[in-house]
Amino acid sequence: MKLSKKDRQTALQKTIEDNPFVTDDDLAKRFNVSVQTIRLDRMELSIPELRERIKSVAEQTFEDEVRSLPIDEVIGEIIDIELDNSAISIFDVKQEHVFQRNRIMRGHHLFAQANSLAVAVINDELALTASASITFSKPVQLGERVIAKAKVSNRDDYRTTVEVNSYVDQALVFKGSFDMYRSTEQLKEENI
C-alpha–C-alpha distance, residues 171 and 134, integer Å: 16
72 and 43 fall within a common domain: no
Structurally, how many domains does the chain consist of? 2
User: Could you tell me if residue 102 is inside a domain?
Assistant: yes
SS3 content of the chain, % helix, strand, coil (to 5): 40, 30, 30
pLDDT band at 8 (very low <50, low <70, confident <90, very high): very high
38 and 85 fall within a common domain: no
99 and 19 fall within a common domain: no
76 and 171 fall within a common domain: yes
User: CA triplet 18, 148, 22: central angle to 5 degrees?
Assistant: 20
3, pLDDT greater than 90: no
39 and 70 fall within a common domain: no
92 and 30 fall within a common domain: no
138 and 99 fall within a common domain: yes
Mean pLDDT of 90-114: 95
Can you tell me whether residue 163 is helix, strand or coil? Answer: strand
Can you tell me whether residue 167 is helix, strand or coil? Answer: strand
User: Could you tell me if residue 55 is inside a domain?
Assistant: no
Q: Specify whether the CB–CB gap between 87 and 113 falls below 8 A.
A: no
Which of the pair, 187 or 125, is modelled with greater confidence?
Answer: 125
90 and 24 fall within a common domain: no
Q: Specify whether the CB–CB gap between 124 and 84 falls below 8 A.
A: no
User: Could you tell me if residue 57 is inside a domain?
Assistant: no
Mean pLDDT of 155-173: 93
Mean pLDDT of 102-128: 92
Cβ-based neighbours of 147, under 8 Å, separated by 6 or more: 88, 89, 90, 166, 167, 168
* The pLDDT of residue 9: 92
| Residue among 154, 66, 149 nearest 113 (CA) | 149
Structure pTM? 0.65
Q: Which helix (H) or strand (E) holds 13?
A: helix 5-18
Which of the pair, 166 or 189, is modelled with greater confidence?
Answer: 166
The one-letter code for the residue type at 102 is N
pLDDT per residue over 26-79, tens digit each?
899 999 999 999 999 998 988 888 767 666 655 554 554 555 555 567 788 888
Q: Domain span at residue 102?
A: 65-190
